[in-house]
């Protein structure tokens, strides 16, 4: 089953690539690696939730926002390589979590992105990861995800 079919089986649809919010491009390819720019949880041009984890959102809400970010990053990958079957491996995910000073569950929030990548790509979706708490993200987004993928 192709990654696109897995996405459909999950009841998801790959969105349009989120337009850059500033002076950058959605992806850069160098050799067999594709780097995505950070993806916030945009849905149809807007953020469904804003704010910080531990103040405005709970862990489950944050996980869902991380999942949306990862789906946006996968859409950017597809736009770069044409077919997701060309993704040999998700090498690394970096998940930024806008957090209250005492919030320490960034890894649990980041699991929303990591689990979706494994669902879409199987073993090739298992990756190294950083989950980082930050004071604020663009547009008051609660989560931002960037990926590095090896492609053929």
- Mean pLDDT value across residues 59-74: 98
pLDDT digits (tens, 9 = 90+) for 4-53: 999 999 999 999 999 898 999 999 999 999 999 999 999 999 999 999 99
Asked whether 80 and 115 are in contact (CB, 8 A), the reply is no
Give the orientation angle of helix 59-81 with respect to helix 106-121, to 10 degrees: 40
- pLDDT band for position 114 (50/70/90)? very high
pTM above 0.75, yes or no: yes
Q: Give, rounded to a whole angstrom, the gap between the first and last alpha carbons of the chain.
A: 18
- Angstrom distances, CA of residue 16 to CA of 13, 43, 102: 9, 9, 35
In this predicted structure, what is the pLDDT of residue 21? 85
């Amino acid at each position: 089953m192709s990654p696109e079919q897995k996405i459909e089986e999950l009841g998801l649809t790959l969105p349009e690539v989120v337009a850059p919010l500033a002076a950058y491009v959605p992806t850069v390819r160098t050799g067999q690696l594709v780097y995505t720019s950070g993806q916030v949880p945009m849905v149809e041009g807007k953020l469904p939730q804003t704010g910080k984890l531990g103040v405005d959102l709970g862990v489950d809400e944050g996980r869902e926002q991380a999942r949306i970010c990862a789906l946006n990053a996968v859409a950017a990958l597809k736009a770069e390589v044409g077919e997701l079957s060309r993704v040999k491996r998700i090498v690394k995910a970096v998940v930024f979590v806008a957090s209250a000073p005492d919030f320490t569950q960034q890894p649990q929030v980041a699991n929303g992105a990591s689990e979706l990548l494994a669902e879409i790509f199987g073993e090739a979706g298992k990756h190294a990861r950083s989950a980082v708490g930050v004071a604020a993200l663009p547009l008051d987004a609660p989560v931002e995800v960037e990926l590095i993928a090896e492609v053929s």
